[in-house]
Amino acid sequence: MSRPRPIPGTTLFDGEQAIKGYALNKMCYSFNSAANREQFKQDEDAYCGRFGLNAQQREAIRRRNVLDLIAAGGNVYYLAKFAGILGLDVQDLGAQQTGMTKDAFKAKLVAAGR
Amino acid sequence: MARIVGAVTTSHIPAIGKAIARNLHEDPYWKPFFDGYPPVHRWLEKVRPDVAVIFYNDHGLNFFLDKMPTFAVGAAPEYRNADEGWGIPTLAPVPGDQRLSWHVIERLIGEEFDLTTCQEMLVDHAFTIPMALMWPGTGPWPVRAIPVCINTVQHPLPSAMRCYKLGQAVGRAIESYDEDLRVVVIGTGGLSHQLDGERAGFINKAFDIEFMERLPADPLWAARRSISELIELTGTQGIELLMWLAARGALGGEATTIHANYHIPISNTAAGLMVMERRAA
């Protein structure tokens, strides 16, 4: 599979990522249902097992680490549903991925408008 | 014959749905954003569309990676919203126009756009938030809708030029329809933003402003660029400007800006809004 010139700090969700992340993304897609979110919360490991997540994906879920989830094939649109369970908004996710505090990340967004 | 009365392009950030529900229009954070919309309401009251054709991207509500259409056109009697996993209020179903949907589908496939057709289709915040911004309140929707979904989830995405040409074909399809209808085309998403990766928080004000300035008279300025170039310039989700190019394509001809607003930030996003009409020949 050919890939365009890389963009720093960016993973395009192409075929290679799609293959790698299918189980993880399928699990996160299931979180559209409130009943499924509840089942996940009751027993995270069993829920991950049901979708066949590999060790890397389970560890990234356990650590709530967005960059690791992306590295494990996660697609941001489905990962957003996992973040929803955790009560994290997109500034929380941005802060975590950039190693900033949430306030610093929000200040960076405001600065982009100047 | 049906006629396109104009195009509206707007951001569709989920946080807007929560802000509407909490009535935060006058809140200092939200006011510069919501203040952009009353001129759109006045314009819509003037042009009185019967139908809205809405170019949007699904974020994992109706479509999953098991079956991911590049272009999907709704042909349903109504369009419902549902739980997306992180809790925004759902809206009343929006009525469809199945006869016009099938006319558009037939014309598009006749022009070699190989579509997915959907007689059932859940529509996510990228469809419902623009509806709520265009027609606020709790009354019945004053328009019927036709959703046109463009894939931005799974790469390879359709090129910007292809999306622009899809829009042009939608415009021709509408204007060949035998019923006397006024149609507004709406493109939702953008402008620059990136949610994922170490580059999260990326915003490109200079590009967005030039994009908005050029869109009416020179849409090819953006449409001729590659997807990877556009992502580099606008962020991984800034690529939603594909919806703006499709809506601009549907409007056709020479266009002029009736109204515009731009504000940074709403959530992680540069929020943009435009109303365009075709320039009188």
Instruction: Read off the CATH number of the domain in which B125 is found.
Output: 3.40.830.10
Query: pLDDT digits over A27-75, tens only?
Result: 999 999 999 999 999 999 999 999 999 999 999 999 999 999 999 999 9
Enclosing domain of residue B226? 3-278
Q: Give me the sign of the Cα torsion angle B80, B83, B84, B86.
A: positive
**Chain B residue whose CA is closest to A23:** B65
CATH number belonging to the domain at A15-86, selected among 1.10.700.10, 1.10.10.10, 1.10.10.60, 3.40.50.300:
1.10.700.10
Q: Which amino acid is at B210?
A: E
Task: Confirm if A3 and B226 have CB atoms less than 8 A apart.
Answer: no
Residues in A touching B268 (Cβ below 8 Å): 90-91, 94, 109
Residues of B recognised as catalytic = 125, 193
d(CA B2, CA B99): 13
Distance of CA B25 to the CA centre of its chain: 22
Domain count, chain B: 1
Q: Exposed, middle or buried by CB within 10 Å (0-12, 13-18, 19+), for A33?
A: middle
B-chain CB neighbours of A34 within 8 Å are 83
Nearest chain A residue (CA) to B124: A32
Owner of token pair 């496939």? B109
Q: Which long-range contacts (CB under 8 A, 24 or more apart) does B21-25 make?
A: B21/B88, B21/B89
ipTM reported for the complex, 2 dp: 0.95
pLDDT in tens, chain B (281 residues): 999 999 999 999 999 999 999 999 999 999 999 999 999 999 999 999 999 999 999 999 999 999 999 999 999 999 999 999 987 788 899 999 999 999 999 999 999 999 999 999 999 999 999 999 999 987 799 999 999 999 999 999 999 999 999 999 999 999 999 999 999 999 999 999 999 999 999 999 999 999 999 999 999 999 999 999 999 999 999 999 999 999 999 999 999 999 999 999 999 999 999 999 999 76
